[in-house]
Structure 1
Amino acid sequence: MTNLTPTGFLSIGTASLEYKWLAPPAADAPTIVMLHEGLGSVGLWSDFPEKLQQASGAGIFVYSRAGYGQSSPVALPRPLDYMQREALDVLPKLLDLIGFKRGLLLGHSDGASIATIYAGAHQDHRLSGLVLIAPHFIVEDISIKSIAAIKATFETTDLKTKLARWHKDVDNAFYGWNGAWLDPKFRDWDISDYLAYIRVPVLVVQGADDQYGTLLQVEIAQEECYCPVDVKIVSGAGHSPHREAPAATLEAIEQFAGAALRDDQGLQGRAA
Protein backbone atom coordinates (compact mmCIF):
# COMPACT_ATOMS: atom_id res chain seq x y z
CA MET A 1 0.00 0.00 0.00
CA THR A 2 1.82 3.11 -1.21
CA ASN A 3 -1.03 5.43 -2.27
CA LEU A 4 -2.14 6.49 1.18
CA THR A 5 -4.61 9.27 1.78
CA PRO A 6 -3.28 12.16 3.92
CA THR A 7 -5.06 10.80 7.01
CA GLY A 8 -6.80 7.56 7.82
CA PHE A 9 -6.44 4.20 9.49
CA LEU A 10 -4.29 1.14 8.81
CA SER A 11 -5.22 -2.38 9.87
CA ILE A 12 -2.45 -4.49 11.35
CA GLY A 13 -3.66 -7.72 12.87
CA THR A 14 -6.74 -6.86 14.91
CA ALA A 15 -5.67 -3.25 15.47
CA SER A 16 -6.84 -0.16 13.63
CA LEU A 17 -4.10 2.48 13.72
CA GLU A 18 -4.67 6.15 12.95
CA TYR A 19 -2.04 7.84 10.81
CA LYS A 20 -1.10 11.07 9.07
CA TRP A 21 0.97 11.17 5.89
CA LEU A 22 2.73 14.35 4.76
CA ALA A 23 3.83 14.29 1.11
CA PRO A 24 5.90 13.40 -0.85
CA PRO A 25 5.03 9.69 -1.07
CA ALA A 26 7.60 6.96 -0.43
CA ALA A 27 8.09 6.34 -4.14
CA ASP A 28 9.29 9.91 -4.69
CA ALA A 29 11.45 10.74 -1.65
CA PRO A 30 12.83 9.31 1.60
CA THR A 31 10.36 8.91 4.44
CA ILE A 32 10.74 9.81 8.12
CA VAL A 33 8.56 7.56 10.28
CA MET A 34 7.74 9.18 13.63
CA LEU A 35 7.20 7.07 16.76
CA HIS A 36 5.54 8.88 19.64
CA GLU A 37 6.19 8.87 23.38
CA GLY A 38 4.47 6.77 26.05
CA LEU A 39 1.55 9.20 26.30
CA GLY A 40 1.74 10.47 22.73
CA SER A 41 -0.34 10.20 19.58
CA VAL A 42 -0.57 11.66 16.09
CA GLY A 43 -2.14 14.83 17.45
CA LEU A 44 0.31 15.34 20.30
CA TRP A 45 3.17 15.88 17.83
CA SER A 46 1.34 19.17 17.11
CA ASP A 47 2.87 20.94 14.08
CA PHE A 48 6.34 19.42 14.45
CA PRO A 49 5.76 16.90 11.60
CA GLU A 50 4.81 19.74 9.26
CA LYS A 51 7.89 21.74 10.27
CA LEU A 52 10.08 18.69 9.77
CA GLN A 53 8.60 18.04 6.34
CA GLN A 54 9.23 21.61 5.25
CA ALA A 55 12.79 21.59 6.61
CA SER A 56 13.84 18.20 5.26
CA GLY A 57 11.78 17.73 2.10
CA ALA A 58 11.19 14.12 3.15
CA GLY A 59 7.81 12.47 3.40
CA ILE A 60 6.61 12.22 7.01
CA PHE A 61 4.55 9.30 8.31
CA VAL A 62 3.07 9.66 11.80
CA TYR A 63 0.86 7.09 13.51
CA SER A 64 -0.67 6.32 16.88
CA ARG A 65 0.20 2.93 18.30
CA ALA A 66 -2.60 0.70 19.56
CA GLY A 67 -3.91 2.10 22.84
CA TYR A 68 -3.25 5.71 21.86
CA GLY A 69 -4.94 8.54 20.02
CA GLN A 70 -7.80 7.33 17.86
CA SER A 71 -6.29 3.87 17.41
CA SER A 72 -7.76 0.67 18.83
CA PRO A 73 -7.42 0.18 22.61
CA VAL A 74 -5.27 -2.57 24.06
CA ALA A 75 -5.88 -5.12 26.80
CA LEU A 76 -4.51 -4.05 30.18
CA PRO A 77 -2.16 -4.53 31.83
CA ARG A 78 0.29 -4.20 28.98
CA PRO A 79 2.99 -6.88 28.88
CA LEU A 80 6.27 -5.55 30.24
CA ASP A 81 7.95 -6.24 26.91
CA TYR A 82 5.41 -4.10 25.05
CA MET A 83 8.10 -2.01 23.35
CA GLN A 84 9.91 -5.12 22.10
CA ARG A 85 6.61 -6.46 20.75
CA GLU A 86 5.94 -3.18 18.95
CA ALA A 87 9.40 -3.13 17.39
CA LEU A 88 9.58 -6.79 16.45
CA ASP A 89 5.98 -7.57 15.50
CA VAL A 90 4.07 -4.41 14.56
CA LEU A 91 6.60 -1.97 13.10
CA PRO A 92 7.96 -4.35 10.42
CA LYS A 93 4.43 -4.93 9.13
CA LEU A 94 3.66 -1.22 9.19
CA LEU A 95 6.79 -0.26 7.23
CA ASP A 96 5.94 -2.82 4.56
CA LEU A 97 2.31 -1.72 4.45
CA ILE A 98 3.15 1.93 3.81
CA GLY A 99 5.68 1.06 1.11
CA PHE A 100 8.70 2.30 3.07
CA LYS A 101 11.65 2.36 0.68
CA ARG A 102 14.30 4.46 2.39
CA GLY A 103 14.47 6.90 5.25
CA LEU A 104 14.74 7.40 8.99
CA LEU A 105 13.00 6.33 12.15
CA LEU A 106 12.43 9.23 14.54
CA GLY A 107 11.29 8.23 18.00
CA HIS A 108 10.54 10.12 21.20
CA SER A 109 10.91 8.43 24.62
CA ASP A 110 9.13 5.06 24.30
CA GLY A 111 9.17 5.64 20.54
CA ALA A 112 12.94 6.11 20.63
CA SER A 113 13.29 2.83 22.50
CA ILE A 114 11.11 1.09 19.90
CA ALA A 115 13.24 2.55 17.09
CA THR A 116 16.37 1.31 18.84
CA ILE A 117 15.02 -2.23 19.18
CA TYR A 118 13.90 -2.29 15.55
CA ALA A 119 17.24 -1.11 14.18
CA GLY A 120 19.20 -3.48 16.39
CA ALA A 121 17.06 -6.48 15.55
CA HIS A 122 16.59 -5.86 11.81
CA GLN A 123 19.44 -5.19 9.42
CA ASP A 124 17.00 -3.25 7.25
CA HIS A 125 18.76 -1.90 4.15
CA ARG A 126 15.97 0.67 3.77
CA LEU A 127 16.96 2.40 7.00
CA SER A 128 19.44 5.28 6.68
CA GLY A 129 19.54 6.50 10.27
CA LEU A 130 17.83 6.91 13.65
CA VAL A 131 16.78 10.05 15.50
CA LEU A 132 16.29 9.23 19.19
CA ILE A 133 14.70 12.01 21.26
CA ALA A 134 14.96 11.39 25.02
CA PRO A 135 15.51 7.64 24.61
CA HIS A 136 15.39 5.04 27.37
CA PHE A 137 17.76 2.07 27.18
CA ILE A 138 17.54 1.18 30.87
CA VAL A 139 15.25 2.21 33.73
CA GLU A 140 16.62 4.93 36.03
CA ASP A 141 15.42 5.99 39.46
CA ILE A 142 14.51 9.44 38.09
CA SER A 143 12.23 7.77 35.54
CA ILE A 144 10.29 5.82 38.16
CA LYS A 145 10.02 8.84 40.45
CA SER A 146 8.62 11.06 37.71
CA ILE A 147 6.26 8.39 36.38
CA ALA A 148 4.89 7.79 39.90
CA ALA A 149 4.41 11.55 40.29
CA ILE A 150 2.50 11.90 37.03
CA LYS A 151 0.15 9.11 38.11
CA ALA A 152 -0.82 11.20 41.12
CA THR A 153 -1.22 14.23 38.88
CA PHE A 154 -3.41 12.28 36.46
CA GLU A 155 -5.68 11.15 39.29
CA THR A 156 -5.97 14.44 41.20
CA THR A 157 -5.82 17.27 38.62
CA ASP A 158 -7.24 18.16 35.21
CA LEU A 159 -4.43 16.32 33.39
CA LYS A 160 -6.85 13.53 32.51
CA THR A 161 -9.19 16.03 30.86
CA LYS A 162 -6.33 17.57 28.91
CA LEU A 163 -5.05 14.21 27.68
CA ALA A 164 -8.57 13.16 26.72
CA ARG A 165 -8.34 15.70 23.87
CA TRP A 166 -5.76 13.43 22.26
CA HIS A 167 -6.88 9.91 23.22
CA LYS A 168 -10.35 8.44 22.65
CA ASP A 169 -9.75 6.09 25.63
CA VAL A 170 -7.55 8.17 27.91
CA ASP A 171 -7.49 5.60 30.74
CA ASN A 172 -6.32 2.91 28.33
CA ALA A 173 -3.54 5.15 27.07
CA PHE A 174 -2.40 6.35 30.49
CA TYR A 175 -2.58 3.18 32.54
CA GLY A 176 -1.19 1.03 29.73
CA TRP A 177 2.01 3.06 29.87
CA ASN A 178 2.09 4.05 33.54
CA GLY A 179 1.17 0.61 34.83
CA ALA A 180 3.96 -1.10 32.94
CA TRP A 181 6.65 1.35 34.04
CA LEU A 182 5.57 1.20 37.69
CA ASP A 183 5.47 -2.61 37.82
CA PRO A 184 8.39 -3.62 40.09
CA LYS A 185 9.51 -6.20 37.53
CA PHE A 186 9.95 -3.46 34.92
CA ARG A 187 12.96 -2.18 36.87
CA ASP A 188 15.01 -4.88 35.11
CA TRP A 189 13.98 -3.72 31.62
CA ASP A 190 17.15 -3.19 29.57
CA ILE A 191 17.44 -2.87 25.78
CA SER A 192 21.05 -1.68 25.64
CA ASP A 193 22.14 -4.94 23.96
CA TYR A 194 20.35 -3.85 20.77
CA LEU A 195 22.63 -0.83 20.41
CA ALA A 196 25.66 -2.90 19.40
CA TYR A 197 23.80 -4.26 16.37
CA ILE A 198 22.70 -0.93 14.89
CA ARG A 199 24.44 -0.32 11.57
CA VAL A 200 23.21 3.17 10.69
CA PRO A 201 24.09 6.65 12.05
CA VAL A 202 22.28 7.73 15.20
CA LEU A 203 21.34 11.17 16.51
CA VAL A 204 20.47 11.39 20.20
CA VAL A 205 18.60 14.55 21.21
CA GLN A 206 18.36 15.04 24.97
CA GLY A 207 16.90 17.90 26.96
CA ALA A 208 19.39 19.20 29.51
CA ASP A 209 16.64 19.22 32.14
CA ASP A 210 14.92 15.93 31.25
CA GLN A 211 12.83 14.87 34.24
CA TYR A 212 12.48 11.29 32.99
CA GLY A 213 16.09 10.40 32.24
CA THR A 214 19.68 11.55 32.72
CA LEU A 215 22.69 11.84 30.45
CA LEU A 216 23.46 8.24 31.40
CA GLN A 217 21.17 7.26 28.52
CA VAL A 218 23.36 9.25 26.12
CA GLU A 219 26.51 7.70 27.55
CA ILE A 220 25.09 4.20 27.07
CA ALA A 221 24.44 4.93 23.39
CA GLN A 222 27.96 6.26 22.92
CA GLU A 223 29.53 3.29 24.69
CA GLU A 224 27.48 0.49 23.17
CA CYS A 225 27.06 1.62 19.56
CA TYR A 226 29.64 0.80 16.93
CA CYS A 227 27.88 3.13 14.48
CA PRO A 228 28.38 6.91 14.49
CA VAL A 229 26.47 8.61 17.31
CA ASP A 230 25.81 12.35 17.18
CA VAL A 231 24.52 14.02 20.34
CA LYS A 232 22.54 17.22 20.75
CA ILE A 233 21.96 18.40 24.31
CA VAL A 234 19.20 20.98 24.21
CA SER A 235 19.53 23.61 26.92
CA GLY A 236 16.35 24.85 28.54
CA ALA A 237 14.43 21.73 27.54
CA GLY A 238 13.11 18.78 29.51
CA HIS A 239 11.73 15.49 28.24
CA SER A 240 10.15 16.95 25.09
CA PRO A 241 12.72 19.19 23.38
CA HIS A 242 10.73 19.21 20.13
CA ARG A 243 7.96 21.02 22.04
CA GLU A 244 10.06 23.00 24.52
CA ALA A 245 12.86 24.10 22.17
CA PRO A 246 11.54 23.32 18.69
CA ALA A 247 13.93 25.52 16.71
CA ALA A 248 17.10 23.99 18.16
CA THR A 249 15.68 20.48 17.94
CA LEU A 250 14.53 20.92 14.36
CA GLU A 251 17.88 22.31 13.30
CA ALA A 252 19.75 19.33 14.75
CA ILE A 253 17.40 16.84 13.09
CA GLU A 254 17.49 18.68 9.76
CA GLN A 255 21.30 18.62 9.68
CA PHE A 256 21.41 14.95 10.62
CA ALA A 257 18.74 14.00 8.09
CA GLY A 258 20.56 15.90 5.38
CA ALA A 259 23.77 13.99 6.01
CA ALA A 260 22.07 10.60 6.40
CA LEU A 261 20.00 11.01 3.26
CA ARG A 262 22.31 13.13 1.10
CA ASP A 263 22.54 10.45 -1.62
CA ASP A 264 18.78 10.55 -2.14
CA GLN A 265 17.96 12.58 -5.24
CA GLY A 266 14.38 12.85 -4.08
CA LEU A 267 15.25 14.92 -1.02
CA GLN A 268 14.40 18.50 -1.98
CA GLY A 269 14.60 20.40 1.30
CA ARG A 270 17.32 22.68 2.63
CA ALA A 271 18.98 19.57 4.06
CA ALA A 272 19.49 18.05 0.62
Structure 2
Amino acid sequence: MSTDSEFAAIRWRGKDVRIEYARIAPERTDAPLLVFLHEGLGSIAMWKDFPERLCEAGGFRGLVFSRPGYGRSTPRDADEIWDVDFMHRQAHEVLPAFFEAIGLNEKPWLFGHSDGGSISLLYASRFPGSVAGLVVLAPHIFVEDVTVANIELARQAYLQTDMPEKLGRYHDNVDSAFWGWNRVWLHPPFRQWNIESELATIRCPVLAMQGIDDEYGTLRQIRGIAERAPQTRLVEIPDCGHSPHRDQPETAIVATVSFVNDPLGETPGKTLN
Protein backbone atom coordinates (compact mmCIF):
# COMPACT_ATOMS: atom_id res chain seq x y z
CA MET A 1 0.00 0.00 0.00
CA SER A 2 1.43 3.36 -1.02
CA THR A 3 -1.31 5.30 0.80
CA ASP A 4 -0.42 6.76 4.20
CA SER A 5 -2.08 5.13 7.21
CA GLU A 6 -4.37 6.88 9.65
CA PHE A 7 -5.56 5.67 13.04
CA ALA A 8 -9.05 5.43 14.58
CA ALA A 9 -9.70 4.97 18.29
CA ILE A 10 -12.34 2.58 19.61
CA ARG A 11 -13.15 1.11 22.99
CA TRP A 12 -13.15 -2.70 22.86
CA ARG A 13 -12.82 -5.48 25.43
CA GLY A 14 -12.53 -2.89 28.18
CA LYS A 15 -9.56 -1.06 26.72
CA ASP A 16 -8.68 1.66 24.26
CA VAL A 17 -7.74 0.22 20.87
CA ARG A 18 -6.32 2.00 17.86
CA ILE A 19 -7.07 0.72 14.38
CA GLU A 20 -4.75 1.40 11.46
CA TYR A 21 -6.53 2.26 8.22
CA ALA A 22 -5.94 3.82 4.83
CA ARG A 23 -8.23 5.33 2.21
CA ILE A 24 -7.93 4.79 -1.53
CA ALA A 25 -9.11 7.48 -3.98
CA PRO A 26 -11.36 9.33 -1.50
CA GLU A 27 -11.84 12.06 -4.11
CA ARG A 28 -14.16 9.73 -6.07
CA THR A 29 -17.04 10.81 -3.89
CA ASP A 30 -19.79 9.12 -5.90
CA ALA A 31 -17.94 5.83 -6.46
CA PRO A 32 -18.74 2.56 -4.67
CA LEU A 33 -16.74 2.09 -1.46
CA LEU A 34 -14.95 -1.25 -0.98
CA VAL A 35 -13.84 -2.14 2.56
CA PHE A 36 -11.02 -4.72 2.58
CA LEU A 37 -10.95 -7.28 5.41
CA HIS A 38 -7.70 -9.23 5.58
CA GLU A 39 -6.95 -12.88 6.26
CA GLY A 40 -6.02 -14.45 9.60
CA LEU A 41 -2.36 -13.40 9.30
CA GLY A 42 -2.97 -10.29 7.22
CA SER A 43 -2.79 -6.52 7.62
CA ILE A 44 -2.87 -3.41 5.47
CA ALA A 45 0.71 -4.10 4.36
CA MET A 46 -0.02 -7.76 3.56
CA TRP A 47 -2.49 -6.72 0.82
CA LYS A 48 0.45 -4.99 -0.95
CA ASP A 49 -0.89 -3.10 -4.01
CA PHE A 50 -3.93 -5.27 -4.72
CA PRO A 51 -6.58 -2.91 -3.22
CA GLU A 52 -5.22 0.00 -5.24
CA ARG A 53 -5.13 -2.06 -8.43
CA LEU A 54 -8.72 -3.21 -7.91
CA CYS A 55 -10.00 0.27 -7.09
CA GLU A 56 -8.20 1.74 -10.09
CA ALA A 57 -9.64 -0.91 -12.41
CA GLY A 58 -13.19 -0.34 -11.20
CA GLY A 59 -13.06 3.38 -10.44
CA PHE A 60 -13.89 2.56 -6.81
CA ARG A 61 -12.98 4.10 -3.48
CA GLY A 62 -11.26 1.83 -0.96
CA LEU A 63 -10.91 1.51 2.79
CA VAL A 64 -8.25 -0.90 4.07
CA PHE A 65 -7.64 -1.57 7.75
CA SER A 66 -5.76 -3.85 10.13
CA ARG A 67 -7.87 -5.58 12.76
CA PRO A 68 -6.82 -5.30 16.44
CA GLY A 69 -3.81 -7.55 16.93
CA TYR A 70 -2.48 -7.05 13.40
CA GLY A 71 -0.34 -4.65 11.39
CA ARG A 72 0.14 -1.37 13.21
CA SER A 73 -3.12 -1.64 15.13
CA THR A 74 -3.06 -2.22 18.89
CA PRO A 75 -1.50 -5.65 19.47
CA ARG A 76 -3.12 -8.45 21.39
CA ASP A 77 -2.00 -8.62 25.03
CA ALA A 78 0.40 -11.51 25.62
CA ASP A 79 -2.10 -13.21 27.95
CA GLU A 80 -5.16 -12.45 25.78
CA ILE A 81 -6.56 -15.69 24.38
CA TRP A 82 -9.16 -15.40 21.62
CA ASP A 83 -12.17 -17.66 22.02
CA VAL A 84 -14.29 -19.62 19.55
CA ASP A 85 -16.45 -16.55 18.90
CA PHE A 86 -13.52 -14.34 17.85
CA MET A 87 -14.81 -13.77 14.30
CA HIS A 88 -18.31 -13.00 15.59
CA ARG A 89 -16.83 -10.38 17.90
CA GLN A 90 -14.94 -8.80 15.03
CA ALA A 91 -18.13 -8.66 12.95
CA HIS A 92 -20.57 -7.64 15.68
CA GLU A 93 -18.35 -5.38 17.83
CA VAL A 94 -15.13 -4.20 16.18
CA LEU A 95 -16.42 -3.47 12.68
CA PRO A 96 -19.44 -1.37 13.80
CA ALA A 97 -17.24 0.52 16.29
CA PHE A 98 -14.62 1.19 13.62
CA PHE A 99 -17.22 2.40 11.13
CA GLU A 100 -18.67 4.73 13.77
CA ALA A 101 -15.22 6.04 14.71
CA ILE A 102 -14.43 7.08 11.13
CA GLY A 103 -17.92 8.49 10.53
CA LEU A 104 -18.98 6.02 7.85
CA ASN A 105 -22.53 6.90 6.81
CA GLU A 106 -23.06 4.80 3.69
CA LYS A 107 -23.47 1.16 2.71
CA PRO A 108 -20.07 -0.23 1.75
CA TRP A 109 -19.16 -3.28 -0.26
CA LEU A 110 -17.14 -5.67 1.90
CA PHE A 111 -14.20 -7.46 0.26
CA GLY A 112 -12.98 -10.14 2.64
CA HIS A 113 -10.30 -12.82 2.34
CA SER A 114 -10.28 -16.04 4.43
CA ASP A 115 -11.12 -15.06 8.06
CA GLY A 116 -11.94 -11.61 6.68
CA GLY A 117 -14.45 -13.24 4.34
CA SER A 118 -16.09 -15.05 7.26
CA ILE A 119 -16.24 -11.79 9.22
CA SER A 120 -17.84 -10.09 6.20
CA LEU A 121 -20.52 -12.80 6.03
CA LEU A 122 -21.21 -12.49 9.76
CA TYR A 123 -21.50 -8.69 9.54
CA ALA A 124 -23.94 -8.89 6.63
CA SER A 125 -25.95 -11.52 8.50
CA ARG A 126 -26.25 -9.41 11.67
CA PHE A 127 -26.71 -6.06 9.86
CA PRO A 128 -28.43 -6.99 6.57
CA GLY A 129 -29.45 -3.41 5.78
CA SER A 130 -25.95 -1.98 6.21
CA VAL A 131 -24.10 -3.60 3.30
CA ALA A 132 -24.32 -2.97 -0.45
CA GLY A 133 -22.75 -6.33 -1.31
CA LEU A 134 -20.11 -8.89 -0.39
CA VAL A 135 -17.07 -10.20 -2.23
CA VAL A 136 -15.58 -13.08 -0.25
CA LEU A 137 -12.40 -14.94 -1.21
CA ALA A 138 -11.81 -18.38 0.34
CA PRO A 139 -14.07 -17.73 3.34
CA HIS A 140 -14.66 -20.31 6.06
CA ILE A 141 -18.21 -21.26 7.06
CA PHE A 142 -17.23 -24.41 9.00
CA VAL A 143 -14.01 -26.13 10.04
CA GLU A 144 -12.49 -28.83 7.84
CA ASP A 145 -9.72 -31.32 8.59
CA VAL A 146 -7.55 -29.92 5.79
CA THR A 147 -7.76 -26.45 7.36
CA VAL A 148 -6.64 -27.62 10.78
CA ALA A 149 -3.87 -29.78 9.33
CA ASN A 150 -2.34 -26.86 7.42
CA ILE A 151 -2.68 -24.48 10.36
CA GLU A 152 -0.74 -27.03 12.44
CA LEU A 153 1.93 -27.02 9.72
CA ALA A 154 2.01 -23.22 9.96
CA ARG A 155 2.61 -23.51 13.72
CA GLN A 156 5.57 -25.80 13.13
CA ALA A 157 6.96 -23.46 10.48
CA TYR A 158 6.63 -20.48 12.83
CA LEU A 159 8.61 -22.33 15.50
CA GLN A 160 11.25 -23.89 13.26
CA THR A 161 11.88 -21.56 10.30
CA ASP A 162 12.39 -17.87 9.52
CA MET A 163 8.64 -17.40 9.18
CA PRO A 164 8.52 -14.92 12.12
CA GLU A 165 11.07 -12.69 10.38
CA LYS A 166 9.18 -12.79 7.08
CA LEU A 167 5.79 -12.23 8.71
CA GLY A 168 7.26 -9.47 10.85
CA ARG A 169 7.48 -7.24 7.78
CA TYR A 170 3.71 -6.84 7.97
CA HIS A 171 3.10 -6.55 11.73
CA ASP A 172 4.54 -4.39 14.52
CA ASN A 173 4.06 -7.34 16.91
CA VAL A 174 4.34 -10.57 14.93
CA ASP A 175 3.70 -12.84 17.93
CA SER A 176 0.42 -11.04 18.57
CA ALA A 177 -0.72 -11.65 15.01
CA PHE A 178 0.43 -15.25 14.69
CA TRP A 179 -0.53 -16.74 18.04
CA GLY A 180 -3.88 -14.97 18.26
CA TRP A 181 -4.87 -16.65 14.99
CA ASN A 182 -3.07 -19.97 15.35
CA ARG A 183 -4.08 -20.86 18.90
CA VAL A 184 -7.79 -20.37 18.40
CA TRP A 185 -7.89 -22.33 15.15
CA LEU A 186 -6.07 -25.23 16.85
CA HIS A 187 -8.18 -24.98 20.03
CA PRO A 188 -10.15 -28.29 20.09
CA PRO A 189 -13.58 -26.66 20.75
CA PHE A 190 -13.09 -24.57 17.60
CA ARG A 191 -13.61 -27.72 15.53
CA GLN A 192 -17.35 -27.22 16.16
CA TRP A 193 -17.36 -23.62 14.86
CA ASN A 194 -19.98 -23.29 12.14
CA ILE A 195 -21.81 -20.26 10.70
CA GLU A 196 -23.93 -22.00 8.06
CA SER A 197 -27.18 -21.32 9.90
CA GLU A 198 -26.45 -17.58 9.98
CA LEU A 199 -26.08 -17.16 6.22
CA ALA A 200 -29.81 -17.21 5.40
CA THR A 201 -30.32 -13.70 6.79
CA ILE A 202 -27.87 -12.16 4.29
CA ARG A 203 -29.89 -10.02 1.88
CA CYS A 204 -27.26 -8.31 -0.26
CA PRO A 205 -25.68 -9.72 -3.44
CA VAL A 206 -22.73 -12.04 -2.78
CA LEU A 207 -19.76 -12.99 -4.97
CA ALA A 208 -17.83 -15.95 -3.54
CA MET A 209 -14.46 -16.89 -5.06
CA GLN A 210 -12.16 -19.77 -4.22
CA GLY A 211 -9.17 -21.47 -5.74
CA ILE A 212 -9.72 -25.05 -6.83
CA ASP A 213 -6.32 -25.86 -5.25
CA ASP A 214 -7.06 -24.06 -1.96
CA GLU A 215 -4.84 -25.66 0.69
CA TYR A 216 -6.97 -24.32 3.57
CA GLY A 217 -10.41 -25.50 2.52
CA THR A 218 -12.51 -27.34 -0.05
CA LEU A 219 -15.06 -25.89 -2.45
CA ARG A 220 -17.74 -27.00 0.01
CA GLN A 221 -17.12 -23.66 1.69
CA ILE A 222 -18.33 -21.33 -1.08
CA ARG A 223 -20.88 -23.84 -2.40
CA GLY A 224 -22.36 -23.92 1.09
CA ILE A 225 -22.83 -20.15 0.95
CA ALA A 226 -24.75 -20.45 -2.33
CA GLU A 227 -26.99 -23.14 -0.86
CA ARG A 228 -28.07 -20.84 1.98
CA ALA A 229 -27.91 -17.47 0.23
CA PRO A 230 -29.21 -18.14 -3.31
CA GLN A 231 -28.27 -14.64 -4.50
CA THR A 232 -24.63 -15.82 -4.38
CA ARG A 233 -22.53 -16.09 -7.52
CA LEU A 234 -19.63 -18.53 -7.45
CA VAL A 235 -16.26 -18.26 -9.14
CA GLU A 236 -14.09 -21.36 -8.77
CA ILE A 237 -10.61 -20.57 -10.06
CA PRO A 238 -8.24 -23.15 -11.61
CA ASP A 239 -4.52 -23.07 -10.78
CA CYS A 240 -5.26 -21.09 -7.64
CA GLY A 241 -4.65 -21.72 -3.95
CA HIS A 242 -6.00 -20.01 -0.84
CA SER A 243 -5.31 -16.44 -2.01
CA PRO A 244 -6.99 -15.62 -5.35
CA HIS A 245 -5.88 -11.99 -5.14
CA ARG A 246 -2.24 -13.17 -5.09
CA ASP A 247 -2.44 -16.33 -7.21
CA GLN A 248 -4.83 -15.06 -9.90
CA PRO A 249 -5.18 -11.30 -9.33
CA GLU A 250 -6.55 -10.44 -12.76
CA THR A 251 -9.32 -13.02 -12.41
CA ALA A 252 -10.23 -11.60 -9.00
CA ILE A 253 -10.19 -8.03 -10.30
CA VAL A 254 -12.28 -8.71 -13.41
CA ALA A 255 -14.85 -10.73 -11.47
CA THR A 256 -15.12 -8.08 -8.72
CA VAL A 257 -15.44 -5.11 -11.08
CA SER A 258 -18.12 -6.91 -13.11
CA PHE A 259 -20.00 -7.86 -9.94
CA VAL A 260 -19.98 -4.42 -8.33
CA ASN A 261 -21.06 -2.78 -11.59
CA ASP A 262 -23.80 -5.35 -12.24
CA PRO A 263 -24.50 -7.42 -9.09
CA LEU A 264 -27.48 -9.18 -10.66
CA GLY A 265 -25.70 -10.15 -13.89
CA GLU A 266 -23.31 -12.93 -14.77
CA THR A 267 -19.66 -13.00 -13.71
CA PRO A 268 -17.00 -13.54 -16.41
CA GLY A 269 -14.79 -16.56 -15.89
CA LYS A 270 -17.31 -18.49 -13.81
CA THR A 271 -16.11 -22.07 -13.45
CA LEU A 272 -18.25 -24.73 -11.82
CA ASN A 273 -16.98 -28.29 -11.54
**Alignment TM-score, normalising by the size of structure 2:** 0.90
Write out the 4+ residue segments of structure 1 that deviate beyond 4 Å after TM superposition.
none
Aligned to 1:270: none
Instruction: Measure how far apart 1:260 and its partner are.
Output: 3.4
Distance 2:105 2:34 in 1: 9
1:110 aligns with 2:112: no
CA RMSD of aligned residues (A): 1.7
Please show how residues 92-111 of structure 1 align to structure 2 within 5 Å. 92-98=96-102, 99-111=104-116
Query: How far does residue 26 in structure 1 lie from its aligned partner after superposition?
Result: 7.9
Structure 1 position 107, deviation (Å): 0.4
Higher relative contact order structure (alpha carbons within 8 Å, sequence separation ≥ 6): 1
Matching residue of 1:180: 184
- 1:221 has 2:219 as partner: no
Contact 1:27 1:101 in 2 (8 A): no
1:241 maps to 2:260: no
1:7 match: 5
**2:134 aligned to 130, 154, 160, which one?**
130
Provide TM-score, normalisation by structure 1.
Answer: 0.90
Whichever residue aligns with residue 186 of structure 1, its letter is: F
Kindly state the Cα deviation for residue 192 of structure 1 after the two structures are TM-superposed: 1.1
Structure 2 Cα separation of the partners of residues 180 and 25 of structure 1:
40
Identity of aligned residues (%): 43
Task: List gaps (5 residues or longer) in structure 2.
Answer: 266-273
Query: Partner letter of residue 248 of structure 1?
Result: T
Match for 1:147 among 148, 151, 157? Answer: 151
Once the two structures are superposed, what CA deviation does each residue of 1:206-261 show, in whole Å capped at 9, x if it has no partner?
011000000110221111114x1111111111000100111111111111111139
Structure 1 distance, partners of 2:4, 2:24, is 6
Query: 2:41 maps to what in 1?
Result: 39
Task: Tell me if structure 1 keeps the 8 A contact 2:223–2:234.
Answer: no
C-alpha contact (below 8 Å) 2:135/2:256 kept by paired residues: yes
Aligned residues: 256
- Report the AA paired with residue 91 of structure 2: A
Q: Structure 1 97/159 Cα, relative in aligned 2: closer, same or farther at 3 Å?
A: same
Distance 1:69 1:242, change over 3 A: same
Q: For 1:244, give the aligned amino acid.
A: D
- In 1, Cα distance between equivalents of 2:157 and 2:236: 28
Unaligned runs of 5+ in 1: 263-272
> Which letter does structure 1 place at the counterpart of 2:122?
I
